[in-house]
Amino acid sequence: MASGVDGEVFEQLVSTVDRFARERLIPAERRVEEEDNIPDEIVAEMKEMGLFGLSTPEEFGGIGLNVPQEARLIEALCYASLTFRSLIGTNVGIGSQGIVMDGTPAQKEQWLPGVASGDVIAAFALTEPDNGSDAGGIRTSARKDGSDFLINGTKRFITNAVRAELFTVFARTDPNEPGAGGVSAFIVPANTPGITVAKPDSKLGQRGTKTSDVIFEDVRVPESAIIGGPVNLNCGFRTAMRVLDRGRIHVGAMAVGQSQRMLDIATDYALTRKQFGKPIGEHQLVQGLLADCQAELHAARALVRASADTFDREGKAIIEASCTKYFCTEAAGRIADRALQIHGGAGYMTEYDIERLYRDIRLLRIYEGTSQIQQLVIARRTLTQRAD
Ligand code: COS
List residues near ligand 1 (CB under 6 A): 126-127, 133-136, 179-181, 237-238, 241-242, 244-245, 318, 367-369, 373, 376-377
Residues 291 and 379 in one domain: yes
| Residue of the CA atom closest to atom 47 of ligand 1 | 368
Distance from the alpha carbon of residue 47 to the mean position of ligand 1, in angstroms: 33
**CATH classification of the domain holding 296:** 1.20.140.10
CA 328 and chain centroid, separation: 13
Q: Are residues 224 and 276 in the same domain?
A: no
Is 316 a residue whose pLDDT tops 70? yes
Looking from the CA of residue 127, the nearest atom of ligand 1 is: 47
Regarding whether 200 and 255 lie in a shared domain, the answer is no
Ligand 1 centroid to Cα of residue 241, in Å, is 5
**Rounded CA separation 267/335 (Å):** 12
Instruction: Tell me what the pLDDT averaged over the chain comes to.
Output: 97
- 30 shares its domain with 171: no
Residue (of 264, 203, 237, 210) closest to 78 by Cα position: 264
Same-domain check for residues 230 and 242: no
Domain ends where: 191, 208, 235? 235
Mean pLDDT, residues 98-110: 97
Q: Whose CA is nearest to atom 6 of ligand 1?
A: 241
The Å distance, Cα 197 to ligand 1 centre, comes to 27
Is residue 142 situated within a structural domain? yes
> Ligand 1 centroid vs 264 CA: distance in angstroms?
37
Q: Does residue 41 belong to any structural domain of this protein?
A: yes
The answer to whether 122 and 96 have CB atoms below 8 angstroms apart is yes
Is position 68 within any domain?
A: yes
Tell me which of 155, 237, 320 to substitute to probe ligand 1's pocket, judged by most ligand atoms within 8 Å of the beta carbon: 237
Task: Ligand 1, residue 159: give the atom nearest the CA.
Answer: 49
Domain identity same for 47 and 71: yes
The model's confidence at residue 2, banded by pLDDT at 50, 70 and 90, is low
Residues 104 and 178 in one domain: no
Looking at residue 3, what is its pLDDT?
A: 75
Choose the final residue of a domain: 84, 117, 150: 117
What is the 41 CA–ligand 1 centroid distance (Å)? 39
One domain for residues 211 and 278: no
Alpha carbon of 267 to ligand 1 centroid (Å)? 41
Give nearest CA residue, ligand 1 atom 23: 180
The arithmetic mean of pLDDT across residues 145-171, rounded, is 97
Q: Are residues 303 and 314 in the same domain?
A: yes
- Can you tell me the mean pLDDT for 275-298? 98
Residue from 155, 168, 209, 241 whose mutation best tests the ligand 1 pocket (most atoms within 8 A of CB): 241
pLDDT at 105 over 80: yes
pLDDT at 146: 96
Section 350-360 average pLDDT: 97
Q: Could you tell me the residue range of the domain that residue 89 belongs to? A: 7-117
Looking at the domain assignment, is residue 290 inside a domain?
yes
Residue 1 belongs to a domain:
no
In the listed set 214, 235, 256, which residue is the last one of a domain according to the structure? Answer: 235
Report if residue 197 sits inside a domain. Answer: yes
User: Does residue 109 sit in the same domain as residue 142?
Assistant: no
2 occurs within a structural domain: no
pLDDT bin (cut points 50, 70, 90) of residue 187 is very high
How many domains does the chain fold into?
Answer: 3
368 assigned to active site: yes
pLDDT band at 22 (very low <50, low <70, confident <90, very high): very high
Mean pLDDT across 169-186: 96
From the CA of 129, how far away is ligand 1's center (Å)? 19
The CATH code of the domain that includes 139 is 2.40.110.10
Q: Residue 1: pLDDT above 60? A: no
- Residues 282-304 have a mean pLDDT of 98
Phi, psi (rounded to 5 degrees) for 184: -120, 155
- Asked if residue 272 belongs to a domain, the reply is yes
pLDDT tens per residue across span 209-264? 999 999 999 999 999 999 999 999 999 999 999 999 999 999 999 999 999 999 99
Which of ligand 1's atoms lies nearest the C-alpha of 137? 29
What's the pLDDT at 92? 97
Pocket test for ligand 1, best of 238, 239, 254, 376 (most atoms within 8 A of CB): 238
What is the domain-level CATH number for residue 58? 1.10.540.10
Q: Does residue 372 sit in the same domain as residue 243? A: yes
Answer for the pair 127, 156: CB distance below 8 angstroms, yes or no.
Answer: yes
Contact in structure between 324 and 303 (CB atoms under 8 Å): yes
pLDDT of residue 123: 97
Is the pLDDT at 28 greater than 70, yes or no?
yes
Confidence grade of residue 305 (pLDDT, cut at 50, 70, 90): very high
Q: Rounded mean pLDDT of 311-336?
A: 97
Residues 139 and 98 in one domain: no
